[in-house]
Structure 1
Amino acid sequence: MDRPLLNDAHIYPTDAVLTSILGNCIEVYQTFTGNLPEYGAKLEWRFYNDGNAWLSKGISKRKTVFWISIWQGFFKVSFHFTQKTRLGVMDLPIANEIKTKMRNEQVKGKLVSLIIDVSESTQLKDVFTLISYKQSCK
């Protein structure tokens, strides 16, 4: 099974560390993180022993809106929706591929996960649309 990188608890994900892993995608990541304040969101990095990796949660008003994991050459943005809020994703102005992915995703417990592999700046519009939607969900 694939695992995210950043697996050493003693190596904090600094800009230099992220640049070495993300490569050319670092500019997309920096654009993403640079725009988060406009959405009232911030990142908090933490090492999770259960997954043996550093993950960052995107927080807005103490609510976890999304998660970030770092992979070779790209990063993943993960959202978790309830069955009810999942339906609202279909009404968003986002790429049809994302809607199809959401439609086909299985419910795990009470949540449905939507994970987007981000490697290009053109994908950020959809990610920010999902962030805004998730923030509006109760």
Structure 2
Amino acid sequence: METTEGLLAKVNDIESKLPRFESSINNLRKENEMLRIELNKINENLQDIMALYEVVSNQINPFIGVSKITATSLEKLERLETEYKRLKKTVEELTNDLIILGSLYLNQLNIDLDKIIEEVLEEEVIKLVSEEDKHDSENNK
């Protein structure tokens, strides 16, 4: 009987402690869930930081592959360069066309452009020489 009474006492003791165990287990579950939520937040923040790090390092570090931003910039630059070359060629063609048209027009009117340029240059040289002479004569007074 003593063993039965001892067993009953132990069962009663365990039954009295059971609500505390349940309460402790519930508290541990709540803490565990809070820790899980915090770990998820930390994980998300870490992923954001790593994404930011990749963006910055791809733009700065020349040893890392070309980033999407850099690739887009290079594509734009190549398009601009192609457009620049096309426009330059067009301007050169227009300049040549103007020279040809100007020459035809001057030939039709029997205008000697070289002679006109020579006369204008002679006039300018004469003006410069006369101004220098005038300046020298004023300084000698």
TM-score, normalised by the number of residues in structure 2 = 0.20
- Larger RCO (CA within 8 A; separation ≥ 6): 1
The structure in which a higher percent of residues are helix is: 2
TM-score, normalised by the number of residues in structure 1 = 0.20
Query: Whose Rg is larger?
Result: 2
